[in-house]
Amino acid sequence: MKPARQAGFTLVELMVVMVIVAVMAMIAIPSWRSMQVRNTIRTLVNDYTLSVYFAKTEAVRQNAPVTVCPSSDGATCTDSGLEDGWVVFVGLPDAAVPVLLQDTPARPRVRTAFADNTLANRAVTFLPNGQPVAAYAGNTLFVCPTEADLDNLSRDIAMNRTARINVLTPGVCNIPAPPP
């Protein structure tokens, strides 16, 4: 009678598999991180663009001014970046109790800044005829990742006086560095 042969892995086989898994993880992790940031930026750009178009159509439909502006509290215009969220509401930017149409939550892993950070240019108000208020001069929104090594994924949303949107791929982050 032959002795029973035991089945299993040797320590050498197990170590080889562990090395292969470690090498594959080292290759995949940077790509995964880049994909997550790219998708987050793309989502913010698309959602903000859709919110602007939504505000424009709602202004015409409701025959009332409709505003899109940054909001960290989800109810009114605040002095914050779009990474903290934004709102679409019926009324002007300084409305005490606006009728909320859309509240967009905060977005992690991105930072945003407007080229012109005055409230008149961060908030876009559409009149019942579908045009922005006369004081609106256009603006550019810079959207950058929080990780500096992924700045090539940055996007700029340029909005002209008539609120026509053009998404640009600058390849660098155009947000000025904070003062030391």
For residue 48, give Cα distances in angstroms to 3, 86, 117.
Answer: 72, 8, 17
Residue-level pLDDT at 129: 93
Q: Which domains does the chain have, with CATH numbers?
A: 14-108+116-134 (3.55.40)
Helix (H, G, I), strand (E, B) or coil at 80: coil
Under 8 Å between Cβ of 36 and 30: no
| Residue corresponding to tokens 């909005």 | 159
Which stretch of DSSP H or E encloses residue 99? strand 99-104
Dihedral angle at the C-alpha atoms of 158, 160, 162, 163, nearest 10 degrees? 20
Which amino acid is located at 170 in the chain? P
- Whole-number pLDDT of residue 134: 83
DSSP state of 62: H
**The token pair that represents 123 in the structure block:** 């908030």
Tens digit of pLDDT per residue, the chain (180 long)?
666 677 777 888 889 999 999 888 888 777 888 889 999 999 999 999 999 999 999 999 999 999 999 999 888 888 888 999 999 999 988 877 788 899 989 988 899 999 988 777 889 999 999 999 988 888 999 999 988 888 899 999 999 988 899 999 998 998 876 655
138: left (phi over 0), alpha (psi -120 to 50) or beta: left
d(CA 52, CA 35): 26
Question: How high is the pLDDT of residue 138?
Answer: 87
Q: How long, in residues, is the chain?
A: 180
Helix, strand or coil for residue 121?
helix
**pLDDT for 120:** 73
Cβ atoms within 10 Å, residue 100: 15
Report yes or no: 49 and 157 within 8 Å, Cβ to Cβ.
yes
CB 45 within 8 A of CB 110: no
pTM summary value: 0.82
- Residue 47 has a pLDDT of 95
